[in-house]
Amino acid sequence: MKIKKDLIILLDEVIENKKYSNLQLKYMFENNSYTKGEKAFLNNMLNVTLKNLIYIDYVILKLARSIKRKTKQILRLSIAQILYTSTDIAGVIYEAVELGKEENIYQANFINSTLRNFIRKKDEIFEITPENIKLSYPTWFYDKVRNQFGEDKFREVLKRYKGKSTFSVRVNHKKISVNDFKDLLKMVDSEILFNISDVYYLNNNNVLKTKAYLTGDIVIQDGSSLLVVDMLAPSNEDEVLDVAAAPGGKSLAILQKYNPKKLVATDIHEHKVNMLKEFESKYMNFKAILADGREFSEGIYDKILLDVPCSGLGVLTKKPEKVYEIDLKVIKAIKKLQKKIFDNTYKLLKNGGEMVYSTCTILENENTNNVAYFLEKYSDLEVVDFEFPQDVKIIKDEFGGNLISYENEYLDGFYMIKFRKK
């Protein structure tokens, strides 16, 4: 029963208190002694509930009103189990009622009657539910994806970002050879599912128990994130700027894989810059600076990585709650911020220098639409082509920008484009 209680706490923190699901789960794991099976159950049920939250809440609204906060989390979790994961419906209801009794007998009886009513009506409710709610997407996002990807593809896109999250690591192959890494995986009973560049998608996270992870020669990173770095590809003679760099995965990849003459990483958040500063003692060519990307003006650079703050709607398999926190008004504000950061950062690029603009969202508002603005405003800006690995499927826009396609089973949804200043 404790595991269910912890799930109720997790759901409340993420849904009501707007905490990041991945960080809350990590905190829960670090502060409790769970078995491997319990960790898997927590992770799975948290993600299943969050990914289907709009439909679950729609169902609850059809069954009851004026529900207490904790009771609502119990109902959310129980309905998620009944719909998506459990065949023991009686067991789910029993445990939900027991959790309700910790509040009072009224809440226990309410939970019991609501869930039994749901069992009777679930097929009827599903039949009358609009498609976007069945898929648990807000209407604005459903419509946006439909308009952007077209009638024949948009459902595939929506279903892709409700899929299972993946686990991947980047390996510093200057320290660990491919064969040594494969031997290490055998020792921890892990297998490679997919590989792109120096990133490996694995069937479990056992590699996090190894010394190589503790020393930073193996780090958690998605393949799309590393492709942004590979697109920039600085030489060891280049001075490089990484704007809005925290938490530092791309900066570390630049240092370990490309070792530029100098790398300056900026971020607006002090606690995040303090994380970046931890690299300074290990890499003499690295400096972290607390700065606003709209105002930073120190230096002129050969290469700039501009992975701007964005809506994050390309990483929904890892952070499913993101889509519930964003709307078109927020997108508009983010787009305005992105333009301001680009306008300021472009001043810091040398003539002949190169800049990669990237986001971890699939929406053209923050991608293609911004690129149109950049190219219209700056006549000395040209697009540089990039050859992606053969295994990576991309959707190329009219300007030469690249969206990591929903057809990729493992990669996050990133957009990236490389510019040169004439």
Catalytic positions are: 360
- Residue 62 among known ligand-binding residues: no
299 is in an annotated binding site: no
CA distances from 22 to 159, 202, 265, 316 (A): 20, 18, 24, 11
Amino acid identity of residue 176, one-letter, is I
| Residues 52 and 78 sit within 8 Å (Cβ to Cβ) | no
Q: Is 312 annotated as a binding residue?
A: no
SS3 384: strand
Virtual torsion, Cα 154, 310, 391, 386, nearest 10 deg: 120
247 is in an annotated binding site: yes
267 is in an annotated binding site: yes
Q: Is 192 helix (H, G, I), strand (E, B) or coil?
A: strand
Q: Are strands 167-171 and 239-243 parallel, antiparallel or unpaired?
A: unpaired
How far apart CA 177 and CA 182 sit, in angstroms, is: 9
* Alpha carbon distance 266, 289 (integer Å): 5
Give the Cα separation of 391 and 410 in Å (integer).
Answer: 11
Q: Is 250 annotated as belonging to a binding site?
A: yes
What are 195's two structure tokens? 């590989």
- CA pair distance 17, 38, nearest whole angstrom: 24
**Residue positions in the annotated binding site for S-adenosyl-L-methionine?**
244-250, 267, 307
**Residue positions in the annotated binding site?**
244-250, 267, 307
